[in-house]
């Protein structure tokens, strides 16, 4: 199951660039970039911190994509 995220969308909504979001959460800009690209799945702590910053739930930012959804998309 792939982990998709709407981080870029939330950043745009709150007018935050990667560096500003990174500073708010206490990580490097590189980490935010890795998460946005889908290369790295954040820890629970980091995901919760992001949800706090965007005043939403973790499930709104990160979505687990089912294998079936992936296959149907490929078709």
Partner 1 sequence: MKKARKNKKFIIYLVMCIILGFVAGILRVKKESFNINTHKIIEIYLPFGFLAISLIITILQMLYTFDVKSKIKNINLDDIPDKFDSDLGNFMMLGSLGIIISLMWFTIMMNKMFDNNKLRWISYGFLIISIIFQNISQRLFNRTYPNKKINIFEDNASEKYFNKLDEGERWIVYNSAYSTFLKMQIVYGILLGVTLLISFVTSIPIIVPLIIGFIWIIETSIYFLEAKKYE
**Nearer to partner 1 by C-beta: 6 or 29?**
29
Judged by CB under 8 A, the residue of 3, 6, 16, 23 near partner 1 is: 23
Q: Which is nearer to partner 1, 37 or 66 (CB)?
A: 37
- The partner residues of 3 in beta bridges, in order of sequence, read 64
Residues 30-69 that bind partner 1 (CB under 8 A): 30-32, 34-35, 40, 42-43, 46
List the structure tokens of 35: 């998460």
Q: Are 72 and 10 in contact (CB under 8 A)?
A: no
Structure token pair of residue 18: 């990667």
- Give the C-alpha separation, 58 to 71, whole Å: 25
Positions touching partner 1 (CB under 8 A) are 17, 19-20, 23, 26-32, 34-35, 40, 42-43, 46
């Amino acid at each position: 199951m792939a982990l998709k995220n709407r981080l870029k969308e939330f950043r745009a909504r709150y007018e935050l660039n990667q560096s500003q979001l990174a500073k708010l959460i206490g990580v490097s800009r590189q980490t935010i970039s890795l998460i946005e690209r889908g290369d790295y799945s954040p820890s629970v702590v980091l995901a919760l911190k992001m949800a706090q910053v965007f005043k939403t739930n973790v499930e709104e930012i990160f979505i687990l994509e089912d294998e079936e959804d992936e296959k149907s998309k490929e078709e």
